[in-house]
Chains A and B, each alone.
Chain A
C-alpha cells in the first residue's frame, strides 16, 4: 500500500532524509523508530503529501503522492506529531468538519463521527470545546479524525505521546485491531510498543534506514540474543563452566560465583533463539544432579539494539 523509494529531503543545505526506501503492505503495522531529529516526522510528512520530497518517490495505493495528491490523500489517515486541532471548535464540530472534507456528508458523516467517537472514547466530551480538553482527550480527538473515513493507510506520528498508561494501552489495542486490514505506519520512542503492536520495525538514524525487520529479528541482533543464563547452587564455577563448555552445540560459556550461587552464561554456536540449547542444558543439569533455580534463553533487548544502531560512535563520544 505504501511504497517509498529513495526518498530525500533537504532543508537548505541540511539533509534531513537521505535516501529512505521501504514498503508497507496491507495488514502490516510498521513501527518507525529513531532518535529525535532522525527524520521520522519529515518522512511521514512526505508520505502524507504535506512536504514535497527533494527527490525520490512515494506511492500510496498505486497513486504517486506528487502526481495525484488528492487521490493519494483520500486513502490516508494522518495524525501529525503535535496532534493539532481547531481549538475554537467542539469535538463534534471538528470531527464533522473533517468528515465533510473526507466526503462523508449528512447521515454518513454523523455515523462516522459517532463511530470514531466511541472507538476513541470521546462520547463524554463531544460537545465540549477542544481548548477545554485535557491533553489525552485532545490527542484522541486528533486520532479520531485520522480514522474517520476508515482509511486503508494510517500514518501516525507518535500516537501514544503524552498519554497515561491506560490510554496508551487502549491505543495499542485499537492499532492492533485496525492493523488487521490496513497498512499502518507509526513512529514511537517507546520500544515496548514496538514489541506489543508492530509486525515490523524500521530504525532510522540521520535520515538513513539502519535496520529493518520484525521485532524478534531486531532483538536477535543483540549480542546476548540466543544465549542461555543458568543459576546453580552448590557446585564450583569452574566445574559448571567446563561441563557446559563440553556440550557440542556450545560456542563458549562463562561462569562466576556469587554468595554460593554460580551464574553461568552459555553462547550457542548458531545464534538462533530456540529451545535447543536450553533443552540440552536442562538435560545436563539433571544428569549432573545440579540444583538450579534459573534457566532461560535471552531474546535480546530492543533498547540495546536501538542504541547500538543509532550510536555507532558511543565509545568515542564517551572518551570526549
Chain B
C-alpha cells in the first residue's frame, strides 16, 4: 500500500472503531433493519403482491429511509472534530485534508454497507418463496449502496460546515430531500409553469430518483454510475474547500 492509502485506512479504521465501540452502531443497525422490515412487509405488501421481486417492496423505500438515517450516521464526522478541537490535531498530522476526508467517508460508507448487507434475510426469503432475478437484486443493492454513498457525501459536507451535529443533520436532510424532490413530478410540474424547460430539466437531472430506479429495474447504466460518482466527488471536494475556508478566514 502506498502512504496515502495507508493514511486513509488509518483514519477509516479509527472512525469505524468509533461506531462499533459505542452503542451508536448497534442502535443504528437495529433501527435500520426494523424499519426495512416494517416497510417491506407491512407498507410494501411484500406477500400480497405475489411477485418474486424486491424492487417495489424493498428498494423503493430506501431513498426515504436513507433520507434520515444516513445524515444521522454521518453528521458527527467533522462537526464533532470541530467542537472538541481535535480538528487541529488531525490537520497538523502529516496527512492531506483529502486523505482525512476520504478516510472518514470510507469508514461511514463501509458502516452503511454493513447495515445494508445485514438485510440479506430478505433476499433469502424471496428466494425461498419464489424464483427472483438475482441479477436484478444485486443491481438493486449496488444502486442502494451508491445512493447511501451520495447522501453520505452530502452529510460529510454539511458536517464540515458547522460544529453542531443537529444543524449538520438538518442541512443534510434538506439537501438530500432536494435531491429526491428535484425529479419528482409534483415538483417539476410546479416549475414547468414559469421556468424554461432547460431549467426544469437541469433541476430534474440533479435528482437521485431516476438514476436509482434504473438500478432497481436491474439496469446498471454507466450514466447512473457517473451520476452517483459525481455527486460524491462534488460533495467531498466542497468539503475540502470548506475545511480550507474554515482555517483561512
Contact = CB atoms under 8 A, between A and B. Distances in A.
A100 B10 contact: yes
A45 B247 CA distance: 10
Interface stretch (A49-57, A208-216, A270-278): A49-57
Interface string B1-45: 001001100110010011001100000000000000000000000
A88 B94 contact: no
Interface string A53-90: 00000000000000001110110101010101111110
Given A50-B247, A52-B247, A86-B14, A98 B93 contact: yes
Given A45-B88, A52-B247, A84-B85, A103 B21 contact: no
A101 interface: yes
Interface in A94-148: 97-98, 100-103, 105, 142, 145
B22 A70 contact: no
A145 to B, nearest CB: 8
Given A12-B249, A51-B248, A93-B17, A87 B84 contact: yes
A59 to B, nearest CB: 16
Contacts of A82: 85
B134 interface: no
Contacts of B7: 101
B22, B86, B92, B248, most chain A CB atoms within 10 A: B92
Contacts of A142: 89
B89 to A, nearest CB: 5
Contacts of B17: 89, 93
B248 A48 contact: no
Contact of B18 (A51, A70, A88): A88
B244 to A, nearest CB: 8
A88 B10 contact: no
Contacts of A12: 249
A74 B94 contact: yes
A240 to B, nearest CB: 59
B118 interface: no
Nearest to A41: B88
Interface residues of B, number: 25
Interface string A16-59: 00000000000000000000000000000100111110000000
Given A84-B85, A84-B88, A102 B21 contact: no
B247 A80 contact: no
B20 to A, nearest CB: 11
B230 interface: no
Interface string B121-158: 00000000000000000000000000000000000000
A215 B47 CA distance: 83
B93 A102 contact: yes
Interface in B61-118: 84-86, 88-89, 91-96
Nearest to A142: B89
A216 to B, nearest CB: 33
B89 A84 contact: yes
A70 B6 CA distance: 15
A101 B91 contact: no
B88 A103 contact: no
Contacts of B93: 73, 98, 101-102
A283 B3 CA distance: 72
Contacts of A49: 91-92
Given A80-B88, A88-B18, A73 B249 contact: no
A101 B11 CA distance: 8
Contact of B92 (A50, A86, A88, A89): A50
B84 A84 contact: yes
Contacts of B21: 88-89
A86 B80 CA distance: 10
Contacts of A87: 84
A166 to B, nearest CB: 26
A50 B88 contact: yes
**Closest A-B pairs by Cβ, 5 of them:** A84-B85, A73-B94, A74-B94, A100-B10, A48-B92
Given A85-B86, A88-B18, A101-B11, 9 more contacts: A12-B249, A49-B92, A50-B91, A50-B92, A52-B244, A80-B89, A87-B84, A101-B7, A101-B10
20 contacts: A51-B248, A52-B248, A70-B96, A73-B92, A74-B94, A78-B89, A78-B92, A84-B84, A88-B18, A89-B17, A89-B21, A97-B10, A100-B6, A101-B7, A101-B10, A101-B95, A102-B93, A102-B94, A103-B3, A103-B94
